[in-house]
């Protein structure tokens, strides 16, 4: 097992080319976190039930624990580390802070990623749409109230209707 | 853990070769079942064959003959196709109910079927839409009606080396529609405790001329319930007819008790779902006219 | 004299006595006084409890002092989650 | 009164505002480092071998095959740990026997629940460690197990511990049993109280075993320096607790252990003990390499402390005018395989909201072959309060009285003495009840198949030991160091408290949680104590700093210390005080300004006595209780038994809300945990004693789409013992939701289901039977 041949993968992470070696059965979240030390992507269950490991794979929201790292070959991955641009927080990140929408913060990277995909798809979601879209992002601290408000508010900012 | 190999063939022929060369190969489409099963130690394949690079598996076309759906197309792509949603609202809502937004980014139409969970949301909806499954294997190609595809919990009709390539779903007749409902204790993220799909056709006077009813999570596989359909055909889908269909569905079910619900509960609720799904399908037809 | 109130739990060490006036004004003296008065109420027994002095819980009362009109209640130690 | 109490401050400039939390940017960008986020060069991965049986004798453990795998570098089992004997864990607030904790780290002689840790291996990759763990051969002699509390109390039940004699009984029993505690608290004359009553309600309510459900699994990395010193990085509610427990469990000298608390991804009481930390330390010592142990989600559910189930019989008597005349509770609490349930607080606080002369509360703790339970937010209180509050609502129903009016009539207030004997000081229960009654939610109309439940609750709150260090940098910014892991925004509170005392913008205060070597001892983050006690230490250190700054200003100006006052971040020479001296004194004094800002004083620190730094330590005896009231509206689908929470309002007395947004967050989060416990969360064991739902798929915590917005009302009745009036706020929010939800649901469905969770099958069966 320890002698198992590793696979070489060429991929793009947060817009930059990236190469890594991994075991064929290693999941993407593990490779991001352990092999690449990109620990912003969290692991809460590794069975696709909590959403903490959410990343964007070729534009699609996925749980990186349910993707084999070898599948990343020639694909494009966006992780939490790439969301703030030029040192400026994304409106979703800013609004989560302003609304005090995180307590322990372990679910926050996943919430940021999932909300970004939502607001790019649907810039003006209803409260219900945000709640259903984020149903796969478990949060045990906040009761979701402030997270939902923050995402709705971030949508307004992105639409140019509210102050950032 | 025994060593695992990964292959990503780009053609059906290559895939067939890969599968032929290994006695312990698993097909990877969205991975939302397979990777969980590997994590929990339920499956430990020697070879993983990723079929998402095979063009035939990724097709989605809506034409005169209906919907042609590649087996590896993820739920999010199906949901995003507005015309498919208009044509088969029940089928699309069933696909959309599989897991979270994150799961939708990966879970495939074919995977939900091949995993052969009795509770799979898309299967009853595929049944009432008369889907047929296109299979390619060492002995050539064959087509299987979706209701014959799964043979038991976790078991399907695929033989060694065979791949489910795509599904064909005929166009619904005029004045027809469908609906799928499932029951879960939460609003999201659960496996169906019971599910029901109904497809209906109505004539100009509102009388039901054709009906197909299928139920999920209440038997070893999803089931067609002809008796429930019979209860609906020829009626105006009045309360009495809906209750009769519900009773037929409950009678046809043979559920088990487990951590997700009791047999008694499932039997009762599947009838409720059939009744409600039929009412929704009817309302959809009426809204179109 | 400060007043000590024993809960029903502790009354099995005090032969059913519920209230008692004590001369002590320091916790250490109180422990000595109580264990002398009630042999069953050993230091080990008392040490399992925190003490509330006029409504203020002290979980580690070794050096606690109180007034002649104070009310003292032994109370189970509670931490939290 | 032996305690000097200063008047409580009421005018605040920074406290009560809502600045962005200092650790926030790191958390929204993924930079924050949690337990599993540390990777070290040469690091090994540990994997725990767990019992496949619910009750068995360990006959032998053989590592031979595992060690044959190249890359497997260390193994361990209970033989590597000192025998706990009868040692009591020192320094613990609650008496804890080491022999009830050590076997959770590594089972000794017997396993008492499925998935109990038996051995461990460390290898060069996580997958290799998992493979090696499968090769560890453990031979068991399987013993009969017991999973039900009633069965466990029978004479013929399998005995978990042959040295377990029921505590609290008089005379003490002579034969061992699985009943570990049986005690009763009494007040007044219960029989007379019930004789006086016009209405008596008696019910038995059951609350299931559940889990705290924090999203971050336990994780630890340990490394050694080759000379016996051990450093542990882990996610914990208390790194000082990790230090002392690791020392006791492993025998490593306490002074040689340094613990660094990572960011923590939720705990709710579940991370107030150790699991992988001592194992990683031992494996690191044995291998000489850093060792990381991260629990899987499955392991978290199977083998960390879940939450006691409880069966509570409640009996309440009341007169026609609503006066409560007697309250009796009898609580049977499940502790899992070792004694550790919160039966004490559950028994003591069941009816603490009500003034009643005649009360009795009996508490029994029973052991079963399930995971050893551990703390969860207000440990023990939700289970028994659940029964009492539902019964109070039923009394109101029987009397035809509004349930809030009934509570207002009987609510405790200052001077009342509850069953547990501690007289109340100023408390906010009545005010919270009034707020609830006046809330628009309480007057909103309900439709068919909808119901409304209210419930009130008490939690005692803890004080305990805390330390804080404040360093002043040359530009006048502050670095506030504490030793309490920040689980819900406490660094924001620490910054606000220091800013308030110093009178400087909160943005110039930089709080950190530092390791066990770098700050004075701090008890664990828990018991709702951090803002009160650690915040108290910060206030004290800040006040010491103000005194020092005034002293230095006085020296610069050559005036008396008493003539300098501190205001808004500046030292000011009091008008008229020694003004002549100031103007006609030495050249230096004459040239000095009459105002010196913190930044100016900080810049001169070297010349005026050296670095500015204050250290405060305390044992907080000023914790005071918190009360909360919840209102819940629910709808029930009469054909499926499905519950929909329509509207929810939380009202709570915070004393003084330091950062109101995070107080609201505690209230909202606690409410939703309680909603989950009431409706869907439960541990489901199969007959073999294996947990059947060890994952988030089937252990169903609430998801975003299950809920409405959670409305909050913060009441502020200052804690008279705290300089800023602060009460703990973190725990009481989970106490009222279960009875509020259960009352609403039962009303909506027209049934009375007393067995939680109120799952759709249970509700539908009750609806159909009605």
Q: Which of A2, A3, A10, A66 to mutate to test the interface with B (most CBs of B within 10 A)?
A: A66
In the sheet that D257-261 helps form, which strands lie side by side, from edge to edge? D72-77, D117-123, D44-50, D291-294, D219-224, D230-234, D257-261
| A67/B contact by beta carbon, under 8 A | yes
Query: What is the average pLDDT across B266-285?
Result: 98
Predicted confidence (pLDDT) at residue D327 exceeds the cutoff of 50: yes
Q: For residues D168 and C11, is the Cβ–Cβ distance under 8 A?
A: no
**DSSP string for D306-375:** -B--EEEEEEEEE-TTS-EEEEEEEEEEE-TTSS---HHHHHHHTTTTB--S-EEEEEEEE--SSPPP--
Q: Are A91 and A154 in contact (CB under 8 A)?
A: yes
**Please, which residues bridge with residue B137 across strands?**
B140
Residue with tokens 């360093």: D471
pLDDT at site D93: 63
Asked whether at least 3 C-beta pairs link A and C within 8 Å, the reply is: no
- pLDDT over 60 at B149, yes or no: yes
pLDDT band of B111, cuts 50, 70, 90: very high
Query: Which chain C residues have a beta carbon less than 8 Å from that of D184?
Result: 8-9
% residues pLDDT > 70 (chain D): 96
- Comparing alpha-carbon positions, the chain A residue that sits nearest to B35 is A66
CA–CA separation, B95 and B84 (whole Å): 12
Q: What gap in Å lies between CA B50 and CA A71, rounded to an integer?
A: 8
| Chain D residues with beta carbon closer than 8 angstroms to that of A41 | 30
What is the DSSP code (8-state) at residue B7? Answer: E
On the 0-12 / 13-18 / 19+ scale of CB atoms within 10 A, A141 is buried
- Return the residue in B45, B102, B191 with the most chain A beta carbons within 10 A, the one to mutate for interface testing: B102
User: D124: nearest CA in chain A?
Assistant: A2
In whole angstroms, give the CA distance from residue B59 to residue C78: 63
What pLDDT does B22 receive?
85
Task: Give the CA count within 13 Å in the CB-facing half-sphere of A2.
Answer: 17
Least Cα distance to D160 among D178, D143, D141, D144 occurs for D178
The answer to whether the Cβ–Cβ distance between D623 and C76 falls below 8 Å is no
Partners for B (CB, 8 Å, 3+ pairs)? A, D
Q: Which of B234-238, C43-47, D178-182, D505-509 has the lowest mean pLDDT?
A: C43-47
Q: Which pLDDT value is given to residue A3? A: 52
Closest listed residue to residue B219, CA positions, set B92, B67, B80, B117? B117
Q: Left, alpha or beta for B259 (phi > 0: left; psi -120 to 50: alpha)?
A: alpha
In whole angstroms, give the CA distance from residue D303 to residue D100: 14
- The verdict on B102 touching A (C-beta cutoff 8 Å) is yes
- Touch criterion met for A and D (3+ Cβ pairs within 8 Å): yes
Task: Write out the H or E segment, with its range, that includes residue D56.
Answer: strand D56-62
Q: Are D759 and D663 in contact (CB under 8 A)?
A: no
B245, with CB counted inside 10 A (0-12, 13-18, 19+), is buried
Residue with tokens 């007749």: B173
Residue with tokens 């089928």: B91
Residue D454 has a pLDDT of 98
pLDDT of residue B205: 96
Scanning C49-78 for CB atoms below 8 A from D yields 52-60, 64-67, 70-71, 73-78
The number of C-beta contacts closer than 8 angstroms across B and D is: 56
Give the integer Cα–Cα distance in Å for B115 and B27. Answer: 10
Q: In degrees, to the nearest 5, what angle opens at C-alpha D64 toward C-alphas D62 and D68?
A: 150
D394-411: pLDDT as tens digits: 999 999 999 999 999 999
Tell me the per-residue pLDDT of D523-538, one tens digit each, with 9 for 90 and over.
999 999 999 999 999 9
Does the beta carbon of A57 lie under 8 angstroms from any beta carbon of chain B? Answer: yes
Query: What was the pLDDT predicted at D28?
Result: 98
Which residues in chain A are closer than 8 Å to D18, comparing Cβ atoms? 100
Enumerate the residues of chain D whose CB falls inside 8 A of the CB of residue A149.
Answer: 709
Rounded Cα distance, D674 and D697, in Å: 19
Spatial contact of D638 and D441, defined as CB atoms under 8 Å apart: no
Joined tokens for residue A8: 């070489």
Residue D668 has pLDDT above 50, yes or no: yes
- Best D36, D215, D705 residue to mutate vs chain A (most A CBs within 10 Å): D215
Which chain C residues touch D460 with a CB distance below 8 Å?
57, 78
- The SS3 assignment for D686 reads coil
pLDDT beyond 50 at B183: yes
Structure tokens at A140: 């045990």
Does the structure show a pLDDT above 50 at D592?
no
Q: Which of A73-87, C46-60, D563-577 has the highest mean pLDDT?
A: A73-87
B185 and D693 within 8 Å at the Cβ level: the answer is no
Per cent of chain B over pLDDT 70 is 99
How many Å apart are CA D726 and CA D623, to the nearest integer? 8
- Bridge partners of A18, per DSSP, are A11
Residue D576 binned pLDDT confidence (cut-offs 50, 70, 90) = low
Cβ of B188 within 8 Å of Cβ of D705? The answer is: yes
- Give the per-residue pLDDT at D165: 95
Give the residue with greater pLDDT, B288 vs D460: D460
Q: Across residues A42-71, what is the average pLDDT?
A: 98
Q: Which residues contact B44 (CB under 8 A, 6 or more apart)?
A: B1, B2, B4, B38
Measure the CA–CA gap between D349 and D481, rounded to whole angstroms: 35
Q: Does D640 touch chain B (CB under 8 A)?
A: yes
List, as one string, the DSSP characters of D694-749: -STTTS----GGG---EEEEEE----TTSTT-----SSGGGSSHHHHHHHHHHHHH
Range 274-303 of D in CB contact (< 8 A) with A? 296-297
**Nearest residue of A to residue D674, measured between CA atoms:** A143
Whether the per-residue pLDDT at C8 is higher than 90: the answer is: no
**Sheet hosting strand D509-513, strand order edge to edge:** D509-513, D478-482, D464-472, D613-620
- Split at pLDDT 50, 70, 90, the class of D595 is very high
Supply the pLDDT for residue D587: 47
The answer to whether the Cβ–Cβ distance between D697 and B190 falls below 8 Å is yes
**CB-CB neighbours of D227 under 10 Å:** 6
C-beta atoms of A63 and B48 within 8 A: no
The chain D residue lying nearest B264, using CA atoms, is D761
* Residue pair D341/D175 in contact by the 8 Å Cβ criterion: no
Smallest CA–CA distance, residue A118 to chain B, in Å, is 9
**Which residue from B minimizes the CA distance to D705?**
B187
pLDDT value at B166 more than 90: yes
Min Cα distance A68 → chain B (Å) is 8
Residue A32 per-residue DSSP state: I
> How many CB atoms within 10 Å of residue B9?
17
- By C-alpha distance, which of B263, D616, D668 is closest to A103? D668
Half-sphere exposure of residue D544: CA atoms within 13 angstroms, side-chain side: 17
Is residue D3's pLDDT more than 50? Answer: no
Q: Is the pLDDT of residue D216 over 70?
A: yes
The reported pLDDT for the residue numbered D182 is 95
Quick check: A54 and B50 CB within 8 A? Answer: no
Give per-residue pLDDT as tens, D235-275: 999 999 999 999 999 999 999 999 999 999 999 999 999 99
The pair of three-digit structure tokens given for residue D309, joined into one six-digit string = 């189930």
More confident residue, C77 or D584: C77
How close is the nearest chain D Cα to the Cα of C45, in Å? 12
Query: What's the pLDDT score for residue D574?
Result: 74
Average pLDDT estimate for B56-75: 97
pLDDT tier for residue D5 given thresholds of 50, 70 and 90:
low
D765–B contact, CB cutoff 8 A = yes
Asked if the model's pLDDT at residue D330 lies above 50, the reply is: yes
A72 — pLDDT class (breaks 50, 70, 90):
very high
At how many degrees (to 10) do helices B89-96 and B263-288 cross? 140
Cite the beta strand spans of A14-117 per DSSP E: 16-22, 54-57, 60-63, 76-78
Q: Nearest CB to B183: which of D640, D696, D702?
A: D640
- From CA A34, how far away is CA D227, in angstroms rounded? 28
D127: nearest CA partner in chain B? B1
Q: Closest partner residue to B186 among D639, D640, D703, by Cβ?
A: D703
Which residue's entry shows tokens 């989970």? Answer: D734
Give dist(CA D558, CA A108) in Å, integer.
54
Query: Is B134 in CB contact (< 8 Å) with chain A?
Result: no
- Contact of A61 with A117, CB cutoff 8 Å: yes
SS3 D390: helix
pLDDT in tens, D84-140: 999 988 766 677 899 999 999 999 999 999 999 999 999 999 999 999 999 999 999
Cβ of B102 within 8 Å of Cβ of A134? The answer is no
DSSP-derived secondary structure letter, D97: B
Measured in angstroms, the CA of D419 and the nearest CA of chain C are apart by 8
ipTM confidence score: 0.96
Rounded to two decimals, the pTM is: 0.96
Query: In the prediction, which pLDDT does A2 show?
Result: 45
Instruction: Determine contact: A48 vs chain B, CB below 8 A.
Output: yes
Residue of B nearest to A133 (CA): B101
The percent of residues in chain A predicted with pLDDT above 70, rounded, is: 98
Touching check for B263 and chain D: CB below 8 Å?
A: no
Give the three-state DSSP class for D460.
coil
Please spell the DSSP secondary structure of B100-122, one letter per residue. -HHHHTT-BHHHHHHTT-TT-SH
Q: Which residue of D has its CA nearest to C44?
A: D95
Closest C-alpha among D114, D85, D82, D121 to residue D100: D85
| Crossing angle of helices D381-399 and D403-410, rounded to 10° | 110
In degrees to the nearest 10, what's the CA dihedral of D382, D729, D303, D81? -120
Residue D699: pLDDT over 70: yes
Averaged pLDDT of chain D: 95
Least confident of A123-127, B48-52, C12-16, C36-40: C12-16
Q: How far apart are CA D350 and CA D345, in angstroms?
A: 8
Which CA distances in Å does D475 have to D479, D514, D538, D593, D597? 11, 22, 20, 18, 10
**Among chain D residues, CA nearest to A91:** D28
**Using CB atoms and an 8 Å cut-off, which of residues 201-220 of chain D contact chain C?**
212
Query: Tokens in use for D385?
Result: 């309060």
The whole-angstrom distance between B187's CA and the closest CA on chain A is 8
Supply the pLDDT for residue A44: 98
Under an 8 A CB cutoff, do D170 and C12 touch?
yes
Cβ count near B53 (within 10 Å)? 18
Rounded-to-integer distance, Cα A2 and Cα A15, Å:
32
- The angle at the Cα of D312, spanning D311 to D316, to the nearest 5 degrees, equals 160
Q: Is the pLDDT score of D748 beyond 90?
A: yes
Is residue D147 classed as helix, strand or coil in its secondary structure?
A: coil
**Nearest chain A Cα distance for residue B82, angstroms:** 14
Tell me which residue has tokens 């409902």. B181
Cβ contact, residue pair D2, C78, below 8 Å = no
H helix or E strand, kind and range, residue B208 = strand B208-216
Out of A97, A138, A143, the one facing D215 most closely (by C-beta) is A138
Contact C81 D375 (CB under 8 A): yes
Cβ distance of A81 and D29 shorter than 8 Å: yes
């Amino acid at each position: 097992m320890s002698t198992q041949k590793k696979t070489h993968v060429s991929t793009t992470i947060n817009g930059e080319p990236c190469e890594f070696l991994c075991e064929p059965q290693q999941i993407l979240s593990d490779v991001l976190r352990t092999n690449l030390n990109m620990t912003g992507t969290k692991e809460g269950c590794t069975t696709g039930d909590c959403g903490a490991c959410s990343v964007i794979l070729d534009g699609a929201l996925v749980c990186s624990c349910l993707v084999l790292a070898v599948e990343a070959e020639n694909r494009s991955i966006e992780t939490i580390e790439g969301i703030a641009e030029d040192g400026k927080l994304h409106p979703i990140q800013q609004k989560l802070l302003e609304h005090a929408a995180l307590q322990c913060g372990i679910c926050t990277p996943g919430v940021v990623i999932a909300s970004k995909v939502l607001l790019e798809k649907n810039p003006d979601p209803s409260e219900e749409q945000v709640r259903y879209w984020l149903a796969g992002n478990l949060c045990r601290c906040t009761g979701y109230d402030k997270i939902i408000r923050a995402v709705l508010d971030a949508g307004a900012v992105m639409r140019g209707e509210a102050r950032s | 853990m025994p060593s695992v190999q990964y292959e990503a063939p780009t053609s059906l022929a290559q895939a067939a070769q890969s599968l032929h060369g290994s006695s312990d190969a698993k097909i990877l489409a969205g991975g939302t079942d397979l990777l969980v099963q590997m994590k929990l130690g339920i499956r430990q394949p020697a070879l993983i064959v990723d079929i998402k690079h095979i063009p035939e598996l990724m097709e989605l076309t809506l034409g005169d003959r209906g919907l042609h759906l590649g087996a590896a197309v993820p739920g999010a792509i199906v949901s995003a196709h507005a015309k498919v949603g208009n044509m088969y609202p029940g089928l699309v809502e069933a696909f959309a109910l599989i897991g979270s937004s994150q799961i939708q980014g990966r879970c495939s139409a074919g995977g939900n079927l091949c995993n052969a969970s009795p509770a799979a949301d898309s299967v009853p909806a595929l049944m009432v839409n008369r889907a047929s499954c296109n299979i390619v294997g060492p002995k050539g190609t064959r087509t299987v009606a979706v209701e014959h595809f799964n043979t038991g919990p976790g078991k399907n009709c695929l033989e060694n080396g065979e791949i489910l390539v795509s599904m064909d779903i005929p166009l619904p007749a005029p004045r027809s529609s469908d609906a799928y409902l499932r029951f879960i204790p939460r609003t999201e993220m659960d496996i169906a405790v019971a599910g029901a799909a109904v497809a209906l056709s109505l004539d100009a006077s509102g009388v039901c001329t054709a009906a197909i009813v299928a139920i999920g999570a209440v038997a070893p596989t999803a089931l067609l319930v002809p008796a429930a359909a019979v209860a609906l055909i020829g009626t105006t889908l009045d309360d009495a007819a809906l209750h009769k269909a519900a009773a037929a569905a409950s009678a046809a079910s043979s559920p088990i008790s487990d951590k997700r619900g009791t047999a008694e509960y499932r039997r009762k609720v599947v009838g409720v779902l059939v009744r409600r799904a039929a009412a929704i399908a009817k309302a959809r037809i009426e809204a179109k006219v | 004299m400060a007043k000590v109130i024993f809960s029903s739990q502790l009354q099995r060490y005090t032969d059913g006595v519920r209230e008692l006036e004590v001369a002590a004004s320091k916790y250490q003296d109180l422990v000595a006084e109580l264990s002398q008065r009630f042999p069953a109420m050993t230091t080990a027994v008392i040490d399992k409890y925190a003490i509330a002095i006029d409504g203020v819980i002290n979980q580690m009362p070794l050096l606690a002092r109180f007034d002649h009109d104070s009310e003292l209640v032994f109370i189970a130690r509670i931490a939290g989650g | 009164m032996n305690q000097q109490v200063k008047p409580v401050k009421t005018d605040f400039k920074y406290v009560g505002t809502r600045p962005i939390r200092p650790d926030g940017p790191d958390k929204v960008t993924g930079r924050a480092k949690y337990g599993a986020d540390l990777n070290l060069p040469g690091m090994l991965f540990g994997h725990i071998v767990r019992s496949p049986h619910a009750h068995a004798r360990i006959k032998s453990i053989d590592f031979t095959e595992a060690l044959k795998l190249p890359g497997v570098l260390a193994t361990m089992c209970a033989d590597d740990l000192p025998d706990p004997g009868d040692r009591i864990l020192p320094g613990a607030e609650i008496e804890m026997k080491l022999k009830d904790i050590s076997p959770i780290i590594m089972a000794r002689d017997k396993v008492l629940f499925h998935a109990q840790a038996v051995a461990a291996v460390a290898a060069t990759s996580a997958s290799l460690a998992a493979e090696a763990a499968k090769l560890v051969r453990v031979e068991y002699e399987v013993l009969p197990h017991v999973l039900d509390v009633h069965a466990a109390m029978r004479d013929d039940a399998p005995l978990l511990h042959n040295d377990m004699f029921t505590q609290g009984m008089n005379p003490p029993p002579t034969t061992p049993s699985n009943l570990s505690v049986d005690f009763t608290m009494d007040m007044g004359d219960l029989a007379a109280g019930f004789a006086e009553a016009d209405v008596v309600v008696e019910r038995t309510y059951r609350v299931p075993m559940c889990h705290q459900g924090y999203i971050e699994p336990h994780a630890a990395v340990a490394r050694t320096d080759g000379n016996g010193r051990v450093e542990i990085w882990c996610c914990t509610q208390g790194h000082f607790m990790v230090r002392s427990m690791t020392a006791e469990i492993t025998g490593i000298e306490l002074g040689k252990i340094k613990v660094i608390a990572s960011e923590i991804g939720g705990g709710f009481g579940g991370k107030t003990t150790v699991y992988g930390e001592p194992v990683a330390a031992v494996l690191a010592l044995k291998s000489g390499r850093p060792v990381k142990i991260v629990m899987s989600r499955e392991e978290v559910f199977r083998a960390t402390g879940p939450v006691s189930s409880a069966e509570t019989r409640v009996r309440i008597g009341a007169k026609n005018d609503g006066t409560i005349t007697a309250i009796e509770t009898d609580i049977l609490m499940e502790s899992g395989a070792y004694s550790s349930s919160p039966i004490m607080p559950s028994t003591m606080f069941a009816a603490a909201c009500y003034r009643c002369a005649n009360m009795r509360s009996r508490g029994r703790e029973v052991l079963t072959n399930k995971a050893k339970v551990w703390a969860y937010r207000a440990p023990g209180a939700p289970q028994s309060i659940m029964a009492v509050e539902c019964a109070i609502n039923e009394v109101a129903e029987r009397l035809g009285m509004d349930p809030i009016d009934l509570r207002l009539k009987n609510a405790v207030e200052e001077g009342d003495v509850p069953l547990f004997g501690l007289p109340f000081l100023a408390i906010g229960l009545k005010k919270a009840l009034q707020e609830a009654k006046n809330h628009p939610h309480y007057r909103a109309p309900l439709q068919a198949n909808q119901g409304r439940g209210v419930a009130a609750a008490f939690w005692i709150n803890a004080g305990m030991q805390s330390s804080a260090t404040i360093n002043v940098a040359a530009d006048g910014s502050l670095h506030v160091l504490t030793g309490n892991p920040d689980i819900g925004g406490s660094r924001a509170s620490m910054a606000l408290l220091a800013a308030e005392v110093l009178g400087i913008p909160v943005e110039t205060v930089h709080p950190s949680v530092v390791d066990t070597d770098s700050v004075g001892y701090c008890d664990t983050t828990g018991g709702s104590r951090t803002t009160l006690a650690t915040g108290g230490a910060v206030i004290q250190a800040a006040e010491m700093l103000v005194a020092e700054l005034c002293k230095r200003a006085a020296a610069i100006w050559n005036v008396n210390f008493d003539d300098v006052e501190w205001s808004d971040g500046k030292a000011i020479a009091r008008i008229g005080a020694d003004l002549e001296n100031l103007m006609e004194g030495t050249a230096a004094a004459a040239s000095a300004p009459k105002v010196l800002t913190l930044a100016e004083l900080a810049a001169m620190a070297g010349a005026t006595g050296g670095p500015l730094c204050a250290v405060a330590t305390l044992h907080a005896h000023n914790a005071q209780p918190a009360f909360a009231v919840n209102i819940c509206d629910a709808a029930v689908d009469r054909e499926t038994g499905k519950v929909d929470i329509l509207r929810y309002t939380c009202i709570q007395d915070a004393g003084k809300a330091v950062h109101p947004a995070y107080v609201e967050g505690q209230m909202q989060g606690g409410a939703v945990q309680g909603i989950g416990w009431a409706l869907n969360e439960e541990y489901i064991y199969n007959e073999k004693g294996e947990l059947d739902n060890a994952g988030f798929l089937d252990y169903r915590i609430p998801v975003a789409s299950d809920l409405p917005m959670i409305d909050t009302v913060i009441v502020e009745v200052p804690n008279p013992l705290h300089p800023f009036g602060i009460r703990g706020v973190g725990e009481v929010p989970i106490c009222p939701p279960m009875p509020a939800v259960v009352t609403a649901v039962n009303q909506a469905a027209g049934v009375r289901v007393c067995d939680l969770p109120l799952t759709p099958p249970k509700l539908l069966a009750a609806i159909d039977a009605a």
